[in-house]
Amino acid sequence: MQHRVLLITGASSGIGAATARAASREGYKLVLAARSREKLTTLAEELGPENVLAIGCDVTSMDDQQAMVEQAMERFGRIDAVFANAGRGGSPGGFSGADHEAWREMILTNIYGVGLTLQATLPALRRSRGHVLLTGSAAGRATIPGSMYGATKWAVSGIGYNLREELRGSGIRVTLIEPGMVNTPFFDEPPEHALEDRDIANAVTYALGQPEHVDVNEILIRPTPPLE
């Protein structure tokens, strides 16, 4: 485990940062990518710069993603696991009245960005017979009135299922991480009865920690309902 390398997109806060901390405790070398270079630098200093490569990356840019992989390979020589976690929330108003420009940025990040991460990292993962993890959502399993965000997470579920079939026989495992409500920077005010980002990080490290013959396809995590 000491020399395994985990790449995380959307690593500067929330689930990504919590996963970086959890994986660091497990001995992973880390490639942390996000738009916020300042937050990444602070996180890298916390975890030990000798074990962390922090990279500014817009996941909607293939140039950025390819540069991310090139830097990771130059620094560590391999990539054993990729957590495609970068994502954006939606805006209120449903299909009738939501900000359509916000839709554009969310769809590009939540769907197109995931696809670019996969395409950029799969050559390295094929060499390592590695592991792909995707941040889906419980919203990708349910019907939510007017939710374009939910629709993007349905798409992520589809990406995970289809990727698994493409990679069948390659030795690469694919895991969908599907949280319910999580207290992350998506929210201006902390939601009630929500999971914590470290709860999702624990699920990621659980999937990563399984032996090679165990392929954890999906982990659906919801907060325990409140007492009545």
Q: Cite the active site residues.
A: 149
10 Å CB burial of residue 28 (0-12, 13-18, 19+) is buried
CB 8 within 8 A of CB 31: yes
Backbone angle region of 48, left / alpha / beta, with phi > 0 → left and psi within -120 to 50 → alpha: left
Q: Which two three-digit tokens encode residue 149? A: 């965000």
Question: Which element (helix H / strand E) includes 8?
Answer: strand 5-9
Task: Convert 76-88 to b/e letters by CB count within 10 Å (16 or more is b).
Answer: beebbbbbbbbbb
CB 28 within 8 A of CB 5: yes
Give me the residues paired with residue 133 across strands: 83, 175
Distance CA 90, CA 106 (A): 7
Question: What is each CA distance from 87 to 16, 28, 96, 214, in whole angstroms?
Answer: 10, 23, 23, 27
